[in-house]
Amino acid sequence: MATSWFKYSSPASFYPLAGKMIPWFAAAAAVLAVAGLVIGLVVAPTDATQSDAYRIIFIHVPAAWMSMFLYVVMAAWSAAALGFNTRLSAMMAQAIAPTGALMTFIALWTGAFWGRPTWGTYWAWDARMTSELILLFLYLGIIALRNAIDEPRRADKACAVLALTGVVNVPIIYFSVYWWNTLHQGSSVSMTRAPSMAAIMLVGMLVMALAGWFYAIAVILARVRTIIVDRERGASWVAALREVRHA
Amino acid sequence: MSEFFAMNGYGFYVWSAYGVAALALVIEVRALRSRRRAVLEEARLVQPESAALTGAGE
């Protein structure tokens, strides 16, 4: 049975598997997003301190979590690509970068529009905001580096090294609110103590986070399928695909 | 309904945040679709590895 999973490390066999997975993740994302938005915009009550401005939390926190998780996942695929020299691992890392960059941008933008009414400023150079901005630059740098190198396998290695070098930024973002005196507040959600926010707000955040996960998985699987067709273009299995013959 | 859009005076901030986030996701999906179409078209135009190179019994 162990060998049957390894067969999916070939682009040719992963391609149809990914294709079957996408609709399920996309549907789950849509359902969870609707539920999360209803909770966040309608069900959850107005906050005593921040009034309705706090509702941005239902986009901001899931996006920020996603931006960090996706970077770590991308770094893991990069390590696999360097360690096992597998094309598909590098293709997965390549597929993650744009979605990770998007989540980081959303976290920064929604954070800015939450900060303006509550802190009085769209931006501050505090530890968390600065390190999240650096995360965006890392994602964009990885994308730019790939576009700059013509030979795909060389690009894979260079991008993998850059991704792994930058992964130290993720714990910095996470611990920044403990290590430094920051404008950004500390965490309300922890693995060791009860959350310091109302239960319905926490539920809304978690539902939106799950929606974000399933959306990201669907989009990344779709992107890696496009990357596979692009990079395996000469192969006869690609030429035989119905979507290629009737393109 | 107008209370919903007003968000107790914070409507500009809330909807700028939600709106740009939604727009970003729509742009991502559409860019992905258009890239996929272009790649499929390019793949159709490429000659596959010939049977002479890969051997008989393909």
- pLDDT (tens digit, 9 = 90+) per residue, A42-65? 998 988 888 899 999 999 999 999
**pLDDT band per the 50, 70, 90 thresholds, residue A172:** very high
> What is the structure's pLDDT at B58?
45
Instruction: Assess contact for A204 and A44: CB atoms under 8 A.
Output: yes
CA–CA distance, A118 with B25 (Å, rounded to integer): 26
What are A190-238's pLDDT values in tens digits? Answer: 666 677 788 999 999 999 999 999 999 999 999 999 999 999 998 999 9
Instruction: Assess contact for A214 and A82: CB atoms under 8 A.
Output: no
Q: What is the number of other CB atoms lying within 10 angstroms of the CB of residue A246?
A: 8
- Nearest CA-CA partner of A188 in A174, A176, A175, A202: A202
Say what the pTM is: 0.91
Query: With a cut of 0.85, is the ipTM above it?
Result: yes
Q: What is the number of other CB atoms lying within 10 angstroms of the CB of residue A229?
A: 22
Q: Flag if A51 and B17 touch (Cβ within 8 Å).
A: no
Measured CB to CB, residues of chain A less than 8 Å from chain B are 41-42, 46, 51-53, 55-56, 59-60, 63, 98-99, 102, 105-106, 109-110, 113-114, 116-117, 215, 219, 222-223, 225-226, 229-230, 233-236, 238-241, 243-245, 247
Which of B17, B32, B58 comes nearest A222 by C-beta?
B32
Instruction: Assess contact for B41 and A247: CB atoms under 8 A.
Output: yes
Q: Which of A56, A58, A114, A139 to mutate to probe the B interface, most B CBs <10 Å?
A: A56
What are A133-155's pLDDT values in tens digits? Answer: 999 999 999 999 999 999 999 99
Q: Flag if A52 and B28 touch (Cβ within 8 Å).
A: no
> Coil, strand or helix: which one is A47?
strand
Q: What angle do CA A80, A86, A87 make, to 5 degrees?
A: 120
CB distance from B23 to chain A under 8 Å?
no
| Chain B CB contacts of A102 below 8 Å | 24-25, 28
What are A60-90's pLDDT values in tens digits? Answer: 999 999 999 999 999 999 999 999 999 999 9
Q: Flag if B17 and A236 touch (Cβ within 8 Å).
A: no
CB distance from B40 to chain A under 8 Å?
yes
Sequence-distant (6+) residues with CB within 8 A of A227 are: A91, A94, A95
> What is the structure's pLDDT at A2?
54
Q: What is the number of other CB atoms lying within 10 angstroms of the CB of residue A45?
A: 9
Q: Flag if B17 and A98 touch (Cβ within 8 Å).
A: no
* Type of residue numbered A89: S
- Where exactly are the structural domains of chain A? 21-44+52-185+196-245
Residue B27: both structure tokens together: 């742009």
- Nearest CA-CA partner of A16 in A229, A245, A235: A229
| Chain A CB contacts of B35 below 8 Å | 226
- Give pairs for A78-83: CB < 8 Å, separation 24+: A78/A159, A78/A160, A78/A161, A78/A163, A78/A164, A79/A160, A79/A164, A81/A156, A81/A157, A81/A160, A82/A157, A82/A160, A82/A161, A82/A164
Which of B17, B39, B44 comes nearest A245 by C-beta?
B44
| Chain A CB contacts of B54 below 8 Å | 236
pLDDT per residue as tens, chain B (58 positions) = 888 888 888 999 999 999 999 999 999 999 999 999 999 999 998 865 554 455 554 4
Which of B9, B21, B39 comes nearest A110 by C-beta?
B21
Sequence-distant (6+) residues with CB within 8 A of A95 are: A220, A221, A223, A224, A227
| Chain B CB contacts of A110 below 8 Å | 17-18, 20-21
CA–CA distance, A193 with A189 (Å, rounded to integer): 8
